[in-house]
Structure 1
């Protein structure tokens, strides 16, 4: 963990296009910074940079560590040939601690956390912004620190809990903290963010009260399940927090699935928090990554796609009448040839259309945002959490309405049910949030897997997913710590 006040200076973060386009000016010591309101804002903007780290490309599409979260579920495949590091997730081989995806996930936590710690310390003492602005900035950064730790503790389990910036390079070797302590700090940070005066929504894409309460509902439902198993009281907390988001009336589902990828709708309505992208300052790789491979001629973007596609069994788990399965909703099986629309290219199997970018089809560069927190997610948390709090099934009106809102969009002819079960809500999560890098976390907290062939939930341990060579074992449920980190800091092995 490095003390570089790096993100303060790398203003390619994710709040709004304005600061995405700012140019770094050099390396500054914090003692020489925070002298103007503009510098304070730049520092806060920089803490958003960590949201993009899992999506970054090094030398190839699937080198982005975020894809590992879908590969490991076993419900996706990589049409483009992959290397051994990808295959460890795709086929559920033994994860090698030297796998670079692990190091990338570690970096996506601890570089951003170091910068959040530094910014918090300096904002607390700065006098160049008023108290209202100071509190809002602190709320954003507390949220982001909670986000980064939440991703780390779910992937690695016990991790170092570091809440101050590094001031001495001779004192950077710290031990892992118990998982429960990390979750307690995550909750504490989010509760502080709740009290910071953030607005419920923000069209520029900054952290909002809606994002804070939505993430807190996800944290509570996770703490209720594995590994902490806090049970019914925390399911009730997840329900109550998600109900606050619903009752705020600040968010709504889009009417049509096409609206989810309409750039005019970014940071609005259903999109509670998005990874902010820009065609030149911070382009997105998602459109190109999901292009059919080796079928290349449906977009002007170079044909380096094939990072991920659904396995047939998962695609077939959707009912034929499910609107999400209809052509060019979440998936597609054919598309007009680029430059010759009268010629339709038929794919050998379905691909992901969920994040198609019309602009990138013709320009070759995507600036489309990516959803990080979506209202449909919160609605399904509400339904599942209340059902579990009530023993597996609930007739609570808020929970049933939340479930039905998501279900009704997929099946407009279905009537509102009188009750909803936790299993029904969880199934909807698999179908609704597919390929948004959420499913693995649901599998971990429930210790269940969706047997898509038989349409039923089974214990995660012992389940052989469609794309895997073997069944899940206990050792597969946490990523090993990156080898390089343990070599640098042997205390991590203690």
Structure 2
């Protein structure tokens, strides 16, 4: 079934990629070719929406925006961390060219325009396709909001050369569109159970809405209303049938487990490896290690690059938590004789095949522990620290570290949630967004918390590439650049 899904996705993308997206805003999201090939029958819409999951998987698999600027990683045997990790960003270094995002958004727009007047023999099927497209568009815009802040807002389908050169819309206005799209999707899903954990569903639409509402509350001054929206959506996710796994190791290694709400599919020979390829060492690097049998390694440097290790600062979050079940499934310190060497990441260990280990674990986008901590953070934002601690404890107890016994005031509880997210969600491409959110909320100072930001004034949002600005004179550069 999964291969059937992926095959349809790749076929669809192969066709829609005929629409070259050379400019945005100068971006040409669609072309006459796509419009002519698709949407001749109701059977054309399902493969098309499936195809849009392919760029979504690419974005979910990109560590540059969600992880590299955080404290989580340092270089290991090889050095592959980018200028984002070094916090060296400028319009010509590490800047964002977001044309791929607007290409994906353009496909959502076109599908939604074409499907609305189209008669389906099964109205529920039509509603589900529309719901998925609204969720996809919301995902792409929320991604951009967290990377560049103010973002051009394009909602119309473009089917010819007349591409509008749009200015950046205020982030708060784009967030309103994100929430509106998600509310529409939630109303359209014909069932509250899963169709597939590799596709948007009622539950994952609410998970995205909970996360977006939390960002709105803390970064965009959405206040109590946004915090309450986060709580309400998290509650809907809880009621959808997902549950915490008793064995933490299975969270990242067992496909479509009961804790996962939405993930991006990876499997050997179906696509390239996931981002953990950079974290797997290869045999010649770890040869002679006293604990070699406990280190997940690849036989060759083709399947393991040995580039990332967990940072000292992230390891320190586990300090003193001797009963934490997550530690062996987070990192292992290579021992060469009596010398401690690299701290290899074990969160996404890949799968061992006859010939080698391959980094093909699914990339998780949402899971229940994340939603519990979102709910805890929202309750803390509402000054309901009792409820915040209750949801924080759900995660702590599964980890085996006992209930929270620290400061019950709002600042103490918020810091505990921030630290718990650092432990629970390490290497799941969430940490930089957490840092920005908790910085804006006053829990931490990103410029003292992140080692590579210390002493710098680099803005928390990315600059736009000079090529993007040159193509569209209606755009302003990101503040601070």
After TM superposition, the score normalised by the length of structure 1 is: 0.81
Closer, same or farther: CA 373–344 of 1 in aligned 2, 3 Å: farther
Give the aligned partner of residue 489 of structure 1: 472
Following TM superposition, by how much is the alpha carbon of 1:317 offset from its aligned partner in structure 2, in angstroms?
2.4
Of residues 426, 436, 440, the one that matches 1:444 is 436
Q: How does 1:27-106 map to 2 (within 5 A)?
A: 27=18, 28-54=33-59, 65-82=62-79, 86-93=81-88, 95-99=89-93, 102-103=96-97, 106=98
Following TM superposition, by how much is the alpha carbon of 1:476 offset from its aligned partner in structure 2, in angstroms?
1.8
Closer, same or farther: CA 161–113 of 1 in aligned 2, 3 Å: same
Cα distance in 2 for residues equivalent to 1:296 and 1:125: 60
Following TM superposition, by how much is the alpha carbon of 1:329 offset from its aligned partner in structure 2, in angstroms?
1.4
Q: How does 1:112-131 map to 2 (within 5 A)?
A: 112-131=104-123
Give the aligned partner of residue 295 of structure 1: 285
Q: How does 1:3-402 map to 2 (within 5 A)?
A: 16-22=2-8, 24=11, 26=15, 27=18, 28-54=33-59, 65-82=62-79, 86-93=81-88, 95-99=89-93, 102-103=96-97, 106-196=98-188, 197-203=190-196, 205-226=198-219, 228-246=220-238, 248-263=239-254, 266-292=255-281, 295=285, 298-302=297-301, 304-324=304-324, 328-334=328-334, 348-359=341-352, 362-390=355-383, 393-396=384-387, 399-402=388-391
Following TM superposition, by how much is the alpha carbon of 1:135 offset from its aligned partner in structure 2, in angstroms?
0.7
Contact 2:317–2:419 (Cα < 8 Å) also in 1: no
Contact 1:217–1:381 (Cα < 8 Å) also in 2: yes
User: Cα deviation per residue 1:263-307 (whole Å; 9 max; x = unaligned)?
Assistant: 3xx223111000112322223333422113772663235355234
Cα distance in 1 for residues equivalent to 2:43 and 2:83: 45
Following TM superposition, by how much is the alpha carbon of 1:132 offset from its aligned partner in structure 2, in angstroms?
1.2
Closer, same or farther: CA 434–229 of 1 in aligned 2, 3 Å: same
Contact 2:66–2:429 (Cα < 8 Å) also in 1: yes
The count of aligned residue pairs is 443
- Greater mean deviation of Cα atoms: 250-259 or 32-41: 32-41
Counterpart secondary structure, 2:344: strand
Following TM superposition, by how much is the alpha carbon of 1:360 offset from its aligned partner in structure 2, in angstroms?
5.4
Following TM superposition, by how much is the alpha carbon of 1:191 offset from its aligned partner in structure 2, in angstroms?
0.1
Following TM superposition, by how much is the alpha carbon of 1:240 offset from its aligned partner in structure 2, in angstroms?
2.0
Give the aligned partner of residue 422 of structure 1: 414
Cα distance in 1 for residues equivalent to 2:308 and 2:70: 12
Contact 1:98–1:482 (Cα < 8 Å) also in 2: yes
Contact 2:198–2:265 (Cα < 8 Å) also in 1: yes
Following TM superposition, by how much is the alpha carbon of 1:347 offset from its aligned partner in structure 2, in angstroms?
6.3
Cα distance in 1 for residues equivalent to 2:353 and 2:41: 38
Counterpart secondary structure, 1:77: strand
Cα distance in 2 for residues equivalent to 1:345 and 1:107: 50
Counterpart secondary structure, 1:215: helix
Give the aligned partner of residue 423 of structure 2: 431
Cα distance in 2 for residues equivalent to 1:309 and 1:49: 28
Closer, same or farther: CA 119–254 of 1 in aligned 2, 3 Å: same
Cα distance in 2 for residues equivalent to 1:78 and 1:415: 33
Cα distance in 1 for residues equivalent to 2:60 and 2:207: 22
User: Cα deviation per residue 1:109-158 (whole Å; 9 max; x = unaligned)?
Assistant: 21211111111111112224522111111001100100000010111011
Query: RMSD of aligned C-alpha atoms?
Result: 3.0
Cα distance in 2 for residues equivalent to 1:302 and 1:439: 27
Following TM superposition, by how much is the alpha carbon of 1:209 offset from its aligned partner in structure 2, in angstroms?
0.8
Cα distance in 2 for residues equivalent to 1:183 and 1:261: 30
- Greater mean deviation of Cα atoms: 196-205 or 348-357: 196-205
